[in-house]
Amino acid sequence: MGGCSGDDDKSAAKTAVIVDPTLEAAPADSAAPSLVPASPKPKPTKGSPQPNTTWTPTSKPSKVKPAPVPTTVKPGAVQKKVTAGAFCSPEGATGKTKAGEKLTCKVVQGDERARWRA
């Protein structure tokens, strides 16, 4: 009896539609529907990625400077070329300025660190 019976759909012949994957549908705003060739897709690479062997550094690696050797003054030795008011250590050390003035490393009231004082 024609119509929308569920039994009729099972017996109806099915039509296969073959789609060419290299073609794309034309834009909806075109006058006539047509198929245009699709842009080619890049082929995937096989295997593990290879290192870039053509890269070369543009500058040489910087050399690491050695840590400065701490200068220590033997107990009782006089430090030379000290500047009045500059920070110093250890407290009680003695030094001489360029002009030959004798200074002592000490902390005064109101100051947190030792300085060279006359």
Q: pTM (2 decimals)?
A: 0.39
The pLDDT tens digits of the residues spanning 53-112 come to: 676 667 777 778 777 666 666 767 888 999 999 999 888 999 999 999 999 999 999 999
DSSP 6-75: HHHHHHSPP------TTEEEPPTTSSS--EEEPPPPPPPP-SSPPP--S---SSPPPPPPPPPPPP---T
